[in-house]
Amino acid sequence: MSMEMLLAAKNARRSVQALGPQGSSRVLLKLASALRSNADTILAANAVDLERMSPDDPRYDRLKLTASRLDQIASDVENVASLPSPLGEELSRCVRPNGMVIRKVSVPFGVIGVIYEARPNVTSDVFSLCLRSGNVAVLKGGSDALCSNEAIASVIRSTLESEGVDPAACTLLPASHEASDALLGAVGIVDLIIPRGSSRLINYVRDNARVPVIETGAGICHTYFDKDGDLQKGALVVNNAKTRRVSVCNALDCLVIHSSRLGDLPAICSELSGSKVHIYADPRAYAALDGHYPQDLLERAGEDAFGTEFLDYKMSIKTVDTLQQALEHIERYSSKHSECIICENPETVRVFQETVDASCVYANVSTAFTDGGQFGFGAEIGISTQKLHARGPMALRELTTYKYLINGEGQIRRP
């Protein structure tokens, strides 16, 4: 059954691409209003999902929809409707010596598959970004959110039908392993798969997909406080990167500190104790903090304190004697997501930004800004941690590819 659904999704491409920028805006505005007017049905479906999950489950809050959350979901769809279309942009143009004109233009991928877990808002987010970028969306949500996803997808499909668009443009696959495997193997049908969720999900997708994948997610993020770091800026940035929202991928995991600044470590960490951040410190950092940080929140770092994405009020500290050692520590443990240096020396900043291999390399700015909205993209479908095609925050432009259009008057190639 999944294969038939995938083929139907592929066939819906023309219908989506025929919409054009104005058409996709119109459909999305209509969808936002349909989501609001169908709020009761969607919330009832969500209640069924919630009943099957314990309220103590950490996923319960993410699964839960309320009238105000649903209103936000509709507003997000309206926002995507208002974003500039990424399609039909002439990326380059040249006239070759033989007179033929080569244009490189942005076009949709075709069919984009997204595999995600228990967040029903992803269903409408992904669909709206796909439609606005001219793509068919094939969605594979988690079984926890089955009823919620079906209710939202049903509103989407009714809206599409009422606007004369093939409803397979929003294809929600069954929440089964068989459906996942069909999607991962759909070479020639699906053009791109984006997994969103836990490392376990992402690893499964990468290891089993035959369709091209963009990996998102895991962020093991460092901030390096250099010998030339400004204390006040550093304390602000470290506290913000660690405590603004601990459950997100751009949150700080490891503070790397130059040994000459260990005396400032208590001041750098002072705000963290207010949020009850548990610190795993290496020997020199431990000695520097001992007596200056709440004893019950301070622990000696084991080796597993480094290279861990905590997603919690926890942070490790590594002491280094040189910039080079800092770069090596980051190189070893970074997931290439977001890395930062606190430093007033422009040459050190230059070397750090040039050397660190990550999507986003910050100087004196909190890593909390790694986000499509904060980057001015107007939305976000995920944060890529690989290097192929898109890196860092991805929005509409990253959901397009290009093709070359070559026009001439009978040019042939010799010899």
Task: Using CB under 8 A, list all residues that contact a copy of itself.
Answer: 14, 94, 96, 100, 102, 109-110, 187, 191-192, 206-207, 210, 212-214, 230, 232-233, 236-237, 239-240, 244, 349, 353, 355, 357-366, 368-369, 374-376, 386-389, 391-392, 401-415
Nearer to a copy of itself, 160 or 213 (CB): 213
Task: Answer whether 340's CB lies under 8 Å from 229's CB.
Answer: no
CB of 151 to a copy of itself, least distance (A): 30
Nearer to a copy of itself, 53 or 311 (CB): 311
Q: How far lies 77's CA from each of 125, 380, 395, in Å?
A: 7, 12, 13
Strand 392-394 versus strand 338-342 pairing type: unpaired
CB of 355 to a copy of itself, least distance (A): 8
Nearer to a copy of itself, 212 or 274 (CB): 212
CB of 110 to a copy of itself, least distance (A): 7
Nearer to a copy of itself, 29 or 218 (CB): 218
CA distance 146 to 19: 29
CB of 375 to a copy of itself, least distance (A): 6
Strand 170-172 versus strand 192-195 pairing type: unpaired
Nearer to a copy of itself, 74 or 192 (CB): 192
CB of 7 to a copy of itself, least distance (A): 12
Count the neighbouring beta carbons within 10 Å of the beta carbon of residue 215: 21
CA diameter of the chain: 82
CB of 118 to a copy of itself, least distance (A): 24
Please report how the helices 39-51 and 20-37 are oriented relative to each other, as an axis angle in degrees rounded to 10. Answer: 70
DSSP letters spanning 197-266: S-HHHHHHHHHH-SS-B--B----EEEEE-TT--HHHHHHHHHHHHHS-TTSTTSEEEEEEEGGGGGGHH
Nearer to a copy of itself, 292 or 389 (CB): 389
In 3D, which of 200, 216, 198 has the Cα closest to residue 208? Answer: 200
